[in-house]
Structure formats: structure tokens, C-alpha cells
Amino acid sequence: TSSPLPDTSVDARSAAAFARAQQVTPGGVNSPVRAFLSVGGTPRFIARASGPYLYDVDGNELVDLICSWGPMLLGHAHPEVIGAVAEAASHGTSYGAPTTAEVELAAEIIDRTPVEQVRLVNSGTEATMSVLRLARGITGRDKVVKFAGCYHGHVDALLAAAGSGVATLAIPGSPGVTEATTADTLVLPYNDRAAVREAFAAYGDQIACLFTEAAAGNMGVVPPGVEDGVGFNRFLADLCHEHGALFVSDEVMTGFRVSRSGQFGLDGVTPDLMTFGKVMGGGFPAAAFGGRAELMQSLAPVGGVYQAGTLSGNPVASTAGLTTLRLATDAVYAHVDRAAARLQAEVATALGAAGVPHVIQAAGNLFSVFFVPEGVTSVPDYATASSQDTAAYAAFFHAMLDSGVYLPPSAYEGWFLSAAHDDRALDRVVSALPRASAAAAA
């Protein structure tokens, strides 16, 4: 396919906006990855978006392969979502009292996933933070296991780095996170069953819960491995239950995206507790956590574990999420799956032709491209993901951006597609690949 490539390298207005932004907010952004630090250059300031396209303040049209880091499964400004949101907003934007919209959204989540009850919150971070408290409250235990390279939001106890040995408690992952806060966190290598067994052997009766991304998507995409026919999530769930710990699956990124339910729809492992976000908010701040009713009943106001929120279950956000989920039909998932398969094949062809070593990995329709050294054939964990040539990725990224394709500004992120990514948009991406691959090879 060949469609003419636009020149979208003009960024004078974005540069001016960024200079002003840096005066008023640290780094000019409200979430670090947006600052383009790992690829260099000027972040594009976005003026509007429609379907698969972002339009920046310089008037460039960019095919969006981030989709707001996951939420925009239907594409941007879907008319039915916008219509429902406008209607909801016209009735008032927040009441601090229950509404039927939030009940409908909860019911839709329960219909799609193995959870029996949910509590709505405002961000994925809040969901994981609350689930951690709930798991500790239910079990009366303190310790939590997580995996290096899995991101669960900026919850202090989960912003932890691996200690020096496998069964060593973690060290703070950011200034401001105290040693006391991470003293109950164990950080293990993803997909490493021996390490998980060792940690449970050492601390099994103290572990409240194990957190995992249902499929890791924040170190690039690293799916749960299968050994002797047993998937990593199955292994984790079984080991947790042997030791009386709760198995927590974080589906904030994968939920309602990689299938109608999420990674659960691909591997069928039922967690004790789950977290959701992104797609279920339809582009608004909404997230959720849920699980078996018997566990969720430990939450206030029924149980003793406190959790609350002024804007939780917000009527406009709930309407956006509910409308999005209702429009996310099997046909939507089939389309996104096909588009993802096509792009993966085209990226492999282009990078291969340019002689750029790489590995492409996927969890359903969520995939990423690792610029790992020659000879690396799979990326099972964070240590391997960290062997990437980030300079090659930066060159690839900027060549794509200058040809009208907006990739994640980091080599450690997934590529997100939507139901709105039609042939015109995908053809633009495909046409841009040879030049970008040559740039990565240089």
C-alpha cells in the first residue's frame, strides 16, 4: 500500500505551548511520559481529536497509536458517546448522591468479567490502592508481592524496586516513598515461577495478596508465559490460594480492550480481586475494583475497610463509560484484533528489511515492538526489556511522527488501536514504516 505521506514535522506552536507549560507545571506536563524525555524533542499539544486522528495545535493530522494510553477503544469523539455525555452533563455534573448510571456501569462490568461486585473510583491508581487496603484488611496480613516492570499506578507501596535477592523486601522506587512503606512489598521478576515459589516459601503466611498485570503492558507488552500447559496467571492464582493469599489481577490496561472482558477472556483465570480503568471510563476519569461479593462486603459501609470518593461514580463519567462499553461489540474487538495483526506483520516486515533487530509481542490486540539486541528472541521480563536500544526507538519514533503517526513516546509502551482505525489510517502507518525503519537502522 502506498498513500502519500504528510509532512507533520512543523511544531512551532507546540514548542511555544510547551515553553509556557514548563513555566506553570513541572516539566510542562501532568503525567511524565507526555514530556517526550525518553525520545527527545517537543511534545505535541493536541487541539482536538476525531476517530483515529489527533490534530495538534500546528494543524498536523496524526494517526493516533496511543488512544489516550488505552481508553479510546472506539476512537476519538465517537458521536454516540459524545451525545450521551452532552445529555448527561446537561442534567448536572455531580451530585454526591447515588445515580442509576453508576449502577448500570457496575452491572455492565459484572456482566463482562468474573467479578460479582464492584466499587467505582476515579483512576487506576485509586483502584489498586484501594484493593491493596482491602486485601490487607480481609487477610489481616501485611505483605504484598508484585513484579518488576508491572505498573499499578503511583501507589506508594507499589512504587517499589526489587531488593538485592529474590526473597528480599523491596526498596523505595521514588524519593518520597519511605522504606517503611515498601518494607512489606516483595518485587519479583515477571514470568519467573521459581522466584515466586521462593518468596511464598519464605513469607507465605504473611502475604496478603499478589498483584500482577493480567498481561504486562507497562514494560512493553509481556504476556504471561505458559509452561507445561499452565499459564503464569493460573500458576500464581493456585500458589496464592495454597498460602491463603489473595490473587489480584490488574486489568486497568487490558480490561475491555484485549477482549470483551480483558485478559480474563483470553486465559480464563478467575482472580479474587480485579482492577479496571481506561476503556470503562470512555475517556473520563473512571475506574473500578471488584471481586467476589463475600470479599467486597468487607468494604465500608458494609464492612470495616474504609474507601470513599467525592466524585466516585460521577454521572458524566459513568455515562461515558457505559456508552462506550455498550458500543464495544464483538465486531469492535474483531476489527481491533485484525488491525493489530496487520500492523504487527507490517512492522516486522519493515524492520526486518532494514536489518533492525527487534521482537514484537502481543497480548491479544495490545502489542509492542522491542528494539532488543540481535539474538534476543523473546522478552519474558523487565531485565530483558531493559536491553532495548532506546536511541534506535527514538529515531524510529521521530521519523513516524514526522510522517503523521503518533507512537508512544517511549520504547516501553504498548501500541493501542481502536475501532476507528480504518484502512486510510492504517495505510498511512504502513507507508511511514520503511523510512522510520531506515532511521532506526542508522
Per CB under 6 A, does 64 bind ligand PLP? no
Which H, E and C letters describe 219-265, residue by residue? CCCECCCEECCEEHHHHHHHHHHHCCCEEEEECCCCCCCCCCCCCHH
What the block records as the C-alpha cell of 167 is 526473597
Instruction: For residue 441, give every residue at least 6 positions away whose Cβ sits within 8 Å of its Cβ, in sequence order, or none.
Output: 354, 355, 356, 392
Per CB under 6 A, does 170 bind ligand PLP? no
As to burial, measured by CB atoms within 10 angstroms (0-12 exposed, 13-18 middle, 19+ buried), residue 163 is middle
If one counts every other C-beta atom within 10 angstroms of the C-beta of residue 278, the result is 27
Catalytic, 250? Answer yes
Quick one: which H or E segment has residue 274?
Answer: strand 273-276
Per CB under 6 A, does 146 bind ligand PLP? no
CB 43 within 8 A of CB 29: yes
Q: Which of 66, 81, 239, 252 is in the footprint of ligand PLP by CB under 6 A? A: 252
One-letter identity of residue 90 = S
Q: Which of 8, 117, 128, 388 is in the footprint of ligand PLP by CB under 6 A? A: 128
Binding segment (CB under 6 A) for ligand PLP, from list 119-127, 305-313, 393-401, 404-412: 119-127
Of 214 and 351, nearer to ligand PLP (C-beta) is: 214
Of 225 and 357, nearer to ligand PLP (C-beta) is: 225
Q: What is the C-alpha radius of gyration for the chain, rounded to an integer number of angstroms?
A: 21
Of 182 and 218, nearer to ligand PLP (C-beta) is: 218
Per CB under 6 A, does 364 bind ligand PLP? no
CB 82 within 8 A of CB 301: no
Residue with cell 481529536: 49
CB 77 within 8 A of CB 54: no
Q: Where are the alpha helices (DSSP H) in 57-170?
A: 79-90, 100-112, 124-139
Q: Choose, from 53, 151, 190, 412, the residue flagged as catalytic.
A: 151
Q: Choose, from 272, 278, 381, 393, the residue flagged as catalytic.
A: 278
- Residue 317 beta carbon to ligand PLP: minimum distance, rounded to whole angstroms: 12
Binding segment (CB under 6 A) for ligand PLP, from list 74-82, 197-205, 245-253, 366-374: 245-253
Q: How many of the chain's residues bind ligand PLP (CB under 6 A)?
A: 16
- Residue 115 beta carbon to ligand PLP: minimum distance, rounded to whole angstroms: 16
For residue 341, give the nearest of 359, 366, 377, 358 by alpha carbon. 366
Task: Build a one-symbol-per-residue string for 192-221: x at contacts with ligand PLP by CB under 6 A, - elsewhere.
Answer: ---------------------x---xx---
Q: Choose, from 58, 64, 250, 381, the residue flagged as catalytic.
A: 250
- Residue 182 beta carbon to ligand PLP: minimum distance, rounded to whole angstroms: 18
CB 425 within 8 A of CB 2: no
**Taking CA 137 as the corner, what is the angle to CA 118 and CA 251, rounded to the nearest 5 degrees?**
40
Catalytic, 156? Answer no
Quick one: which H or E segment has residue 144?
Answer: strand 143-147
Per CB under 6 A, does 250 bind ligand PLP? yes
- Residue 240 beta carbon to ligand PLP: minimum distance, rounded to whole angstroms: 18
Per CB under 6 A, does 320 bind ligand PLP? no
Task: For residues 293 and 306, give the distance between their C-alpha atoms in angstroms, rounded to a whole number.
Answer: 16
Give the residue closest to ligand PLP by C-beta.
124
Residues 272-291 that bind ligand PLP (CB under 6 A): 277, 287
If one counts every other C-beta atom within 10 angstroms of the C-beta of residue 139, the result is 16
Per CB under 6 A, does 124 bind ligand PLP? yes
Per CB under 6 A, does 312 bind ligand PLP? no
Per CB under 6 A, does 152 bind ligand PLP? yes
Per CB under 6 A, does 255 bind ligand PLP? no
Catalytic, 146? Answer no
Binding segment (CB under 6 A) for ligand PLP, from list 121-129, 177-185, 381-389, 391-399: 121-129
Per CB under 6 A, does 253 bind ligand PLP? yes
Q: Which residues bind ligand PLP (CB under 6 A)?
A: 69, 123-125, 128, 151-153, 213, 217-218, 250, 252-253, 277, 287
Would you please indicate which residues are annotated as catalytic (active-site) residues?
Answer: 151, 250, 278
